[in-house]
Amino acid sequence: MSPFGAGINDNLALILSGGGSRAAYQVGVLAGLSELTPHSTPNPFPIICGTSAGAINALALATHAGNLHQAVESMLEVWGGFRSHQVMRTDWPGLLAQAWRWSRTNLLGGGGERITALLDNRPLRELLAARMRFGCIEEALQAEQLRAVSVCAFDYNSSRSVYFYQSRGRIAPWRRHRRVGVQTRLGLDHLMASAAIPLLFPPVLLNRSWYGDGAVRQQSPLSPALHLGANRVLVIGVNHRGTEPAGHQPGPTLKAPAPPSLAQLGGHLLHSTFIDNLETDLEQLERMNHLASYQPLAMRNSDSGIRHVDVLVMSPSEPLDVIAARHRSDLPAGLRLFLRGSGATRSSGSDLLSYMLFEQRYCSELIALGRRDALARAQELRRFLAL
């Protein structure tokens, strides 16, 4: 049952998108939300869905479902003090060894273990293994503090998104074009698979298939929440959705612009992976809600009709790449030199940097931004969550 009253929020879902270090913003929004509730308030979201770094935040919230404030404090403890070496090896021996293994396998055709990642993220596995209490998810489900929790990963073998979910009771799995739902008991490998950014972090072997970041080819990020029974959804994104500046029309010039750097290309690829599909799905849902309003009244609450889904989107009020550019000197020296050739340490590479900058000052600024944004929309959040 809902912590705010029978039936009021039982179909309320939280969706946390992917975005690497940008996911610190989500923690800030949740911190702001916790300030709007009494200290003993349980988790207000019966359905929680996450992808990539958002999956880590989703399960961190689910494992503390009995108390929202304790969940937020646990997340702040990690994100507020983050260092890159907690996510990936940043020491010279580790960076050079991984770079050599990758080059030997993929450029020189050397034998041995196939290495498909530029960075070694074993420190992240160790961090999650030490802090995540996966058994608490089942306890929260049995205590009716949760209805379902979902984590998305991409199956490289079948080229489809797989939504692994753990639920209270039986929820029928689903199968759509290039996406399926699989009921299971969530664990460390599901998280590591969901956060395995292609080329940067290695894929994870799970159920005899190789999995990578759940944002890859994720055609419908909102669908797991709807399949799990949601009719109201709070989405916490990681992309500034402000008005795009009017394009500057340069005057006549004989000098062509410099070609995009590898970091610029990588930043655009990560944007298309983590952001574009979510925004497209939100637009599609708005159109479906508009269409649902024209249904006859007899169809609106029936299985044959189009279900109306209320959505509230929280997104950064400031561009995160601009914030990342201010903190690029915070990267460890080894990692900074390792990324220098790609252009990631220059201002033009701040898009890529905004996903990889797992450093305290940057993450803390994103947390502060998320908290401010949540408190600025406090009345809207209270009304939407029925607080």
CA dihedral 123, 78, 55, 377 (to 10 degrees): -160
From residue 68, give the alpha-carbon distance in Å to each of 16, 97, 176, 361: 16, 42, 34, 24
Reply yes or no on whether 52 is catalytic. yes
CB 221 within 8 A of CB 213: no
- The residue from 52, 150, 194, 350 that is catalytic is 52
Q: 279-283 long-range contacts, Cβ below 8 Å, gap at least 24?
A: 279/237, 279/239, 279/241, 281/219, 281/220, 281/221, 281/222, 281/223, 282/222, 282/235, 282/311, 282/313
- For residues 88 and 98, what is the distance between their CA atoms, to the nearest angstrom? 11
Q: How far, in Å, CA of 297 to CA of 337, rounded?
A: 63
Let me know if 306 is exposed, middle or buried by CB neighbors in 10 A (0-12, 13-18, 19+): middle
How does strand 12-16 pair with strand 204-206? unpaired
Q: Helices (DSSP H) in 216-359: which residue ranges? A: 223-227, 262-271, 277-292, 297-300, 320-326, 333-340, 350-356
Q: Residue 310 catalytic?
A: no
Tokens of 200: 């940067």
Are residues 148 and 47 in contact, defined by beta-carbon separation less than 8 angstroms? yes
Location of structure tokens 């889904």: 309
Distance (Å, rounded) from C-alpha 247 to C-alpha 301? 46
- Please state the separation of Cα 378 from the chain's center in Å: 23
Secondary structure class of 182 (helix, strand, coil): strand
Residue 25: DSSP 8-state: H
Q: Among residues 213, 321, 330, 373, which one is catalytic? A: 213
- Total number of residues shown for the chain: 387
**Helix, strand, coil percentages for the chain (3-state, nearest 5):** 45, 15, 40
* Residues carrying an active site annotation: 52, 213
